[in-house]
Amino acid sequence: MTTVIEGMEAPDFCLPSDEGREVCLRDFRGRWVVLYFYPKDNTSGCTREAVDFTSRLNDFLSLGAVVIGVSPDPVESHRKFRERHRLKVILLSDVERKVLEKYGVLGIKKRFGKEYLGVIRSTFLIDPEGRIRRIWRNVRVAGHVDEVLEELRRLQSS
């Protein structure tokens, strides 16, 4: 598993989107990128996070930022997730978990007394030059989108 830290260049990747096209991180050079990793489509926390990012998407866009969500769910699951909740963020599928590993967001989780390797909810704020400016790990959904937006504004004004 890779160690990704603030200040380093964001690891590049290309993944399929729910719209059936390949999306590469390098395609967004020159723009801010909010890259968030989440465990599973249509679960309560993941739905809330995606809906929250969608509700504030115009604020991010006005600051020159794109919002991208990545999970290990397949493209078809993302498509249904988008339609069901009218999501506007870009959703990418990492079924092979290679990008999840690159960003160090896989970890041991416990559920019903059993341990498994799962996605640790994390967000990376990447600047227009492709550098990671801020990392949030073990994200709590409530208030997170506002915190990311506030940090983006702070970084742009400094």
> Which strands form 90-93's sheet, in the order they lie side by side?
90-93, 65-71, 32-37, 122-126, 132-137
d(CA 99, CA 59): 27
Q: Give every CB contact of residue 47 below 8 A, 6+ residues apart in sequence.
A: 41, 81, 85
Told to judge if 14 belongs to the known catalytic residues of this protein, a careful annotator would answer no
Q: Which of 23, 35, 46, 132 is catalytic?
A: 46
**93, 71 in Cβ contact below 8 A?**
yes
Cα–Cα distance list, 140 to 47, 63, 74, 133 (Å): 13, 24, 24, 19
Nearest to 65 by CA among 97, 36, 99, 103: 36
Residues belonging to the active site? 46
